[in-house]
Amino acid sequence: SQKIEQNSEALNIQEGKTATLTCNYTNYSPAYLQWYRQDPGRGPVFLLLIRENEKEKRKERLKVTFDTTLKQSLFHITASQPADSATYLCALRGNQFYFGTGTSLTVIP
Amino acid sequence: NAGVTQTPKFQVLKTGQSMTLQCAQDMNHEYMSWYRQDPGMGLRLIHYSVGAGITDQGEVPNGYNVSRSTTEDFPLRLLSAAPSQTSVYFCASRGPGLASSTDTQYFGPGTRLTVL
C-alpha cells in the first residue's frame, strides 16, 4: 500500500509569513494528490487537487506543487492568518484514497 | 443541501456489543466510504461503495460490515465491538452528483466511539 509522510507534526509561524507543509509518498505515483483542512472536532474539508501532469496549482493564498520525481508535494499558505490555524492533510488517489497523518499549523498573531 | 450527515455524534459501547453508525448524503453521490482516524495513524479506509448494491473492502475492514441499499445511505456496522475499535469514524462521499467534482470528497462531522 501507499505510505505517506507529512513532515513536521506541528508547525508554528508568525502571522503574515508563508507556511510551507510537506507531503512525501513512497511506491507508485498517484493519479492526483489532494490537500484537506481539518479543524478540531470536525471532518476534513477539501482545499485543492493537483494532478500528476500539473506542476503547480493556486487558489487565493494557497499554492500546491507536485514533483513526481521527488515524490513530494508542497503546500504553501501565503500571508498567513490566525484563522489558518488547523491541521492539514494530504491524500493520494491510487486504487483508493490514502491519507497522511497531517501537520498541525498554528499561526501566531 | 445538508451534505454528509452522521449519527450518533458520540457513542460508548461495552466490549462485545454491536451497533450501527449511520451515514447519509443528499448530493446524489455514487461513491461513499468509511474511514477511521486514530492519533498518529491518519485516516484509514475501512469500506467503500461505488454505488447502490456494491461495496468493497478498504485498508482496515476487519470487524466492520457495510451495505448500500440506496444511493443516500451507507451504514457501518460493528458486529462485536472491541477496545481496538475506539476511534473517530468519518463517512465521506464523492461525485459525480449535484454540482460537485468527481474528485472531491465531502466528509461528515464524525462519530466518536469509545469501546470499554
Q: According to the 3-state scheme, what is the secondary structure of B15-74?
A: CCCCEEEEEEECCCCCEEEEEEEECCCEEEEEEEEEECCEEEECCCCCCEEECCCCCCEC
**Residue B80 CA to chain centroid, in angstroms?**
17
Residue B108: the pLDDT is 97
Chain B residues in contact with A54 by the CB 8 A cut-off are none
The pLDDT tens digits for B55-113 are 999 999 999 999 999 999 999 999 999 999 999 999 999 976 444 456 789 999 999 99
Residue B96: the pLDDT is 63
Mean pLDDT of all residues in chain B?
92
Chain A residues in contact with B110 by the CB 8 A cut-off are 41-43
Q: Rg for chain B (alpha carbons), in Å?
A: 13
Average pLDDT estimate for A42-61:
92
Mean pLDDT of all residues in chain A?
91
Residue B99: the pLDDT is 46
Q: Which residue of B has its CA nearest to A87?
A: B42
Identity of the residue in B35, B43, B103 whose CB atom sits nearest the CB atom of A49: B103
Q: Which three cell numbers stand for residue B1?
A: 443541501
What does DSSP assign to residue A29?
P
Lookup result for grid cell 445538508: B2
Identity of the residue in B4, B45, B104 whose CB atom sits nearest the CB atom of A96: B45
Name the minimum distance, in Å, from the CA of B104 to any CA of chain A: 7
Q: Which three cell numbers stand for residue B57?
A: 473492502
Name beta bridge partners: B32: B49, B93
Per-residue pLDDT at B29 exceeds 70:
yes
